[in-house]
Amino acid sequence: MQASESGAVAFARENGARFVEELKALLRIPSISTSPEHAGDVRLAAQFVAEELSRIGMENVHLIETASAQHPGGHPLVYADWLKAGKDAVTVLCYGHYDVQPAEPLEEWVTPPFEPTERDGNLYARGAVDDKGQMWMHVKALESLFAANGGKLPVNVRVIVEGEEEVGGEGIASFVREHGDQLKADVAVVSDTEMFAPELPTLCVGLRGMIYTEIEVRGAKTDLHSGMYGGAAPNPFVALAQIISKLKDEQGRVQIPGFYDKVAAPTADELKAWKALPFDEEHYRKTEVGSRELTGEAEYSVLERTWARPTLDVHGMPGGFIGAGAKTVIPAKAVAKVSMRLVPDQTPAESFAAYKAFVGSIVPKGVEVEVRLIHSGDPIVVSTDNPYVKAATEAMHEVFGKETVFVRGGGSIPIVGDFVRELKIPTLMMGFGLPDDNLHAPNEKFHLANFHRGIESLIRFFASVGA
């Protein structure tokens, strides 16, 4: 171990409690990117991150605005760099997001989502692990390296933190496409994924893409008394249910013509490696999912179904009467929020076109349908054939004492595809979440031991890449 590395690790250990307190302050800011009423909070979170990046010694720290006529309501990016390791030194691009998902249903939280609370070695709050806590690991690893090395880093570093990941990441995608030169780096490091199991260091090498849509169905010109008009007037909710029921069959197959045409099967090596992972389907069903049975394409394993097969889900159906009690109304319109997870080599554009055409072909009598695309992201599989993967696995070995497993993730991080395709750099997804961290759900948490081990792993990674 190099002197710089051991000093930084020691610094991180001595200051670990403070790091957690700072993270709590960031977690108190409800930076919910999808809610216009929280736009001010989203900006506060961006400023919080920017201020800390300046304080630890990063340079050129500034917010990059993303709002425009094409992208109204866009949230700022936070940029920082430190490029004094020399022109031959490796440049690492650190990515994270400071925005979070909505916290509802609030009554399910044991302690309020924006009042971070420690219980049993976990820190509970919306954004604890996704992704404020994991992004903070990067900042704290850099701080530790600066502190232990007289204000220097072993590598050149650029940091880009976005505030729209949870709503599709359009702002950062435009920035990367138009100003990719400003993010020039040799490797990108993303900590926004999970470990396969507690204690098991993990690199995520693939993500599903997605298209998030709304189907709006309109029937009568206004809401109607269901006794006076029921039997004669079309009901948009029934029509919507009929449409949705035709999108996926009971075996979990999406019924959109051509939907599976470009689905690439995982390689034989990947399948073999996945079979060797410590996965207990019954435990997963009981403790993670908590349902009577698992569903989906029975001819594929759960890992294949969630990592390498596309799927379709319904998230909510706003409209009509949802208050307490009963109201006898035929609503004039109904909406369903429907998304599809995509896998290589499906594309959001082709998948959306096929879906829209299919929905158009199954519209029940008497209603009109509009299909809208809310956001989308490409699926991606990253290469592991680069020296940074080795540096990362060695760094994590020193911290966890175990060999790294390579997995894919079922979720999406839209910008990762752009890092690979636009910036043409290898991207490491080195995440420290756990399967039971409740991402997007009530009682999201970050296992604090993993917060600290993540910081140490990153310190060792930076040091090794800089050596």
- What is the rounded CA–CA span in Å between residue 451 and residue 461? 15
- When binding is defined by CB under 6 A, the residue of 165, 186, 304, 418 that contacts ligand BES is 165
| Near ligand BES in 389-448, by CB under 6 A | 409, 411-414, 439
Sign of torsion over alpha carbons 14, 17, 20, 26: negative
168 part of the interface to ligand BES, by CB under 6 A:
yes
Asked if residue 191 lies in contact with residue 108, where contact means CB atoms within 8 angstroms, the answer is no
How many residues bind ligand BES (CB under 6 A)? The answer is 18
Nearest CA to 140 out of 223, 53, 28 is that of 53
Q: Which does 331 bind (CB under 5 to 8 A by kind): ligand BES, Mn ion, none?
A: none
For residue 334, the tally of other CB atoms under 10 A from its CB is 22
Residue closer to ligand BES (CB basis): 82 or 451: 451
Q: Which does 41 bind (CB under 5 to 8 A by kind): ligand BES, Mn ion, none?
A: none
Which of 5, 41, 99, 186 is catalytic? The answer is 99
| Near ligand BES in 304-363, by CB under 6 A | none
Residue closer to ligand BES (CB basis): 12 or 381: 381
- When binding is defined by CB under 6 A, the residue of 31, 33, 191, 193 that contacts ligand BES is 193
Verify whether residue 165 is a known catalytic residue. yes
The site string for ligand BES over 365-384 (x = CB under 6 A, - otherwise) reads: ----------x-x-------
| Near ligand BES in 197-236, by CB under 6 A | 207, 210
3-state SS of 255-286?
CCCCCCCCCCCCCHHHHHHHHCCCCCHHHHHH
Which of 5, 52, 81, 165 is catalytic? The answer is 165
Asked if residue 394 lies in contact with residue 225, where contact means CB atoms within 8 angstroms, the answer is no
- What is the rounded CA–CA span in Å between residue 460 and residue 189? 13
Retrieve residue 427's tokens: 């991207």
| Near ligand BES in 173-192, by CB under 6 A | 192
Which residues contribute to the site for Mn ion (CB under 5 A)?
130-131, 192
Q: Which residues are catalytic?
A: 99, 165
Summarize as ranges the residues that interact with ligand BES (CB under 6 A).
130-131, 165-166, 168, 192-194, 207, 210, 375, 377, 409, 411-414, 439
